[in-house]
């Protein structure tokens, strides 16, 4: 395991009381809600950012908000760190525990509590999967817009923690744009509600602060989210280019023209080949880069928008234009894109980056990304949400080779610094977690970090919630 990233030292006074803590937790929750045996803890030692592993002190799986509150009150009073966990799909190490921490998993809080079509909202428990909401309301002509690639497994609580996005966030926004209210358990066990079905709540925008806070301000147990009526029609179109730079320039041209498609997804040649081999989606293999552009509306609306997009693509020397002809073909096109991470895992280990850059810098950053990975002797496959500049270069390496694994991490750090230096930021939707924690100094000054940490400490002055994440360990307030 690489040792480039450090964790806070375990609290010895907590470790020494492990047996008593487990007994106390078993008194607070039903017996089947507390996990503490070694083999049973293994599934919780890491998340999708599998380079780092730590066995937690114990795992609790409450079923109600009151049970979450009781656990938080006990841990707060006894100085026990708590690591919130949804489905464990975090790609930044956001749910990795440490030896003195209780993992508080929300997977058993998986009920849809209310569907309110009059107000176009759904109220759900935090353990409900992202896709379950859309599947449930589809029969009534609605959907939930954020659609990360892991939406089959990832949960609403985790989406809120990382402010997740997805392919269709270009038009509909990320989680924060589709979140109306939450029930939040504070570090001391108090339960508060932020927002609701109404818009523009009075006072400070604490809901906006909680969304993207990576489980450091409290535990979200319920959420009210926005439902959107399904469009009349939707049509993905494939645009093939000779180079990644041409495809990147085309994206910038589309957005600069004032056209906002539902989605603009990017794949370079390595990603095209990987995804096509897995999904058999019919992607062109004779191009250097591919854009999946989806438009929606009536047939006349889609035709008109696509005519303009095709004209922009021609100005950027597009080689291939292929419009989707059926629902089956559309499903295959998106299956290939949404399977990119899993398909890549079949051929190599990889680290997935998550920097975001201004659209005008896409071509430049793509070129420099290739130069960076080449300099480390590594391969890269680029697949990302091009419409909002949220890049996901997949750095391929052999995890069984410690030297190559370290090179992959170093290359990833250089790519993230490149994104910041190009006017972008460290993360678009995966969060900071452990992965980008020590790069926060590249994005922010110490004064800026101090202000953020002061806000965090106002919610949790003893730093027991997800303590090793987001902020550099050195210089914490």
For residue range 255-271, list pLDDT tens digits in order. Answer: 999 999 999 999 999 99
Statement to judge: residues 329 and 267 lie in one domain? yes
- Return all residues near 366 (Cβ < 8 A) that are at least 6 apart: 244, 245, 248, 268, 382
Q: Is residue 385 part of a domain?
A: yes
Q: Could you tell me if 224 and 167 lie in one domain?
A: yes
3-state secondary structure of 351: strand
| Average pLDDT rounded to a whole number, residues 297-307 | 95
Predicted confidence (pLDDT) at residue 286 exceeds the cutoff of 60: yes
Q: Is the pLDDT of residue 235 over 60?
A: yes
Ramachandran angles phi, psi of 294, nearest 5°: -115, 135
In the structure, what pLDDT confidence band is assigned to residue 312 with cuts at 50, 70 and 90?
A: very high
Q: Place 222 in a pLDDT band, splitting at 50, 70 and 90.
A: very high
SS3 393: strand
Residue 70 included in any domain: no
**pLDDT tens digits, residue range 195-217?**
999 887 788 999 999 999 999 99
Separation in Å, CA 452 to CA 160, 357, 458: 18, 22, 10
Task: Kindly report whether the global pTM for this prediction surpasses the value 0.75.
Answer: yes
CA 196, CA 211: separation in Å to the nearest integer? 14
Containing domain of residue 392, as a range? 348-421
- Buried b / exposed e across 436-472, counting CB within 10 Å, b at 16+? bbbbbeebbeeeebeeebeebeebbeebbbbbbbbbe
- Nearest to residue 476, comparing CAs of 429, 441, 425? 441
How far is 251 from 177, CA to CA, in rounded Å?
A: 23
Which of 392, 421, 450 is the C-terminal boundary of a domain? 421
Same domain, 121 and 217: yes
- Residue 246 contacts residue 287 (beta carbons within 8 Å): no
* Domain at 134, CATH number: 3.30.465.10
Say if strands 102-105 and 58-60 run parallel, antiparallel, or are unpaired: parallel
In a domain, 99, yes or no: no
Any domain includes 139:
yes
Burial class (CB in 10 A: 0-12, 13-18, 19+), 191: middle
CA distances from 47 to 133, 381, 430 (A): 23, 22, 12
For residue range 63-92, list pLDDT tens digits in order: 999 999 999 999 999 999 999 999 999 999
- Report the C-alpha gap between 15 and 9 in whole angstroms: 11
Q: Once rounded to an integer, what is the mean pLDDT over residues 155-173?
A: 94
Alpha-carbon separation of residue 431 from 47, 211, 303, 435 (angstroms)? 13, 11, 37, 9
Residue finishing a domain among 310, 341, 372: 341
Q: Are residues 377 and 407 in the same domain?
A: yes
Distance between CA 384 and CA 369 in Å, rounded?
A: 13
pLDDT grade for 1, boundaries at 50, 70 and 90: very low
* 51, pLDDT greater than 90: no
The 10s digit of each residue's pLDDT in 21-35 is 999 999 999 999 999
Identify whether residues 225 and 118 lie together within a single domain: yes
**pLDDT classification of 2: cutoffs 50, 70, 90:** very low
pLDDT, one tens digit per residue, over 372-419 is 999 999 999 999 999 889 999 999 999 899 999 999 999 999 999 999
What distances in angstroms separate CA 192 from CA 132, 155, 185, 219, 237, one per listed residue? 26, 21, 6, 10, 45
Boundary (domain end) residue, out of 393, 421, 449: 421
Within a domain: 184: yes
Q: What is the mean pLDDT of the chain?
A: 94
- Does 391 share its domain with 328? no
Same domain, 125 and 162: yes
Quote the pLDDT of residue 4.
58
Same domain, 220 and 261: no
330 in the same domain as 385? no
Confidence of residue 476 (pLDDT cuts 50, 70, 90): confident
DSSP H or E run through 113: strand 112-116
- Write out pLDDT tens, residues 108-153: 999 999 999 999 999 999 999 999 999 999 999 999 999 998 999 9
**Would residue 52 count as lying in a domain?**
no
Residues 155 and 215 in one domain: yes
CATH, residue 328 = 3.30.70.2190
Residue 198 in domain: yes
Domains of the chain: total: 3
Same domain, 262 and 337: yes
Whether the pLDDT of residue 3 is over 60: the answer is no
Domain annotation covers residue 461? no
Domain with 377 in it: what CATH number? Answer: 3.30.70.2740
223 and 244 fall within a common domain: no
């Amino acid at each position: 395991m690489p040792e480039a990233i450090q964790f806070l030292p375990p609290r010895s006074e907590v470790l020494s009381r492990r047996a008593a803590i487990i007994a106390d937790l078993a008194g607070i929750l039903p017996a089947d809600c507390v996990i503490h045996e070694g083999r049973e803890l293994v599934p919780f030692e890491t998340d999708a950012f599998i380079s780092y592993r730590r066995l937690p002190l114990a795992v609790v799986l409450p079923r109600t908000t009151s049970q979450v509150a009781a656990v938080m009150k006990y841990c707060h009073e006894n100085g026990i760190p708590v690591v919130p966990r949804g489905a464990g799909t975090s790609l930044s190490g956001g749910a990795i525990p440490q030896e003195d921490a209780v993992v508080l998993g929300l997977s058993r809080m998986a009920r849809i509590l209310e569907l309110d079509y009059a107000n176009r909202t759904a109220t759900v428990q935090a353990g409900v999967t992202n896709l379950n909401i859309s599947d449930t309301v589809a029969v009534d002509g609605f959907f939930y817009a954020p659609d990360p690639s892991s939406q089959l497994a990832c949960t609403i609580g985790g989406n809120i923690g990382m402010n997740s996005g997805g392919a269709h966030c270009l038009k509909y926004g990320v989680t924060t744009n589709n979140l109306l209210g939450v029930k939040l358990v504070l570090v001391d066990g108090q339960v508060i509600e932020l927002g609701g079905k109404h818009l523009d709540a009075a006072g400070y925008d604490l809901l906006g602060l909680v969304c993207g806070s990576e489980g450091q301000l409290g535990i979200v147990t319920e959420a009210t989210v926005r439902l959107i009526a399904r469009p009349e029609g939707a049509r993905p179109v494939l645009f093939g280019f000779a180079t990644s730079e041409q495809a990147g320039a085309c994206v910038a041209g589309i957005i600069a023209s004032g056209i906002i498609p539902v989605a603009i997804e990017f794949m370079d040649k390595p990603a095209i080949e990987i995804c096509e081999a897995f999904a058999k989606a019919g992607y062109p293999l004779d191009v250097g880069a591919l854009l999946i552009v989806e438009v929606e509306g009536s047939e006349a609306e889609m035709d008109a928008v696509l005519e303009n997009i095709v004209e922009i693509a021609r100005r950027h020397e597009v080689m291939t234009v292929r419009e989707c002809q059926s629902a089956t073909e559309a499903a295959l096109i998106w299956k290939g894109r949404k399977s990119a991470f899993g398909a890549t895992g079949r051929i190599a280990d990889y680290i997935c980056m998550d920097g975001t850059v201004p659209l005008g810098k896409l071509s430049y950053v793509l070129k420099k990304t290739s130069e960076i990975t080449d300099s480390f002797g590594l391969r890269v496959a680029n697949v990302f949400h091009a419409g909002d500049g949220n890049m996901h270069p997949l750095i391929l390496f052999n995890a069984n080779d410690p030297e190559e694994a370290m090179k992959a991490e170093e290359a990833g750090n250089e790519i993230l610094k490149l994104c910041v230096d190009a006017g972008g930021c460290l993360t678009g939707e995966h969060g900071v977690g452990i992965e980008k924690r020590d790069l926060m100094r590249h994005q922010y000054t110490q004064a800026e970090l101090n202000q953020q940490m002061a806000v965090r400490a106002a919610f949790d002055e003893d730093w027991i919630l997800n303590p090793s994440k987001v902020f550099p360990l050195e210089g914490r307030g």
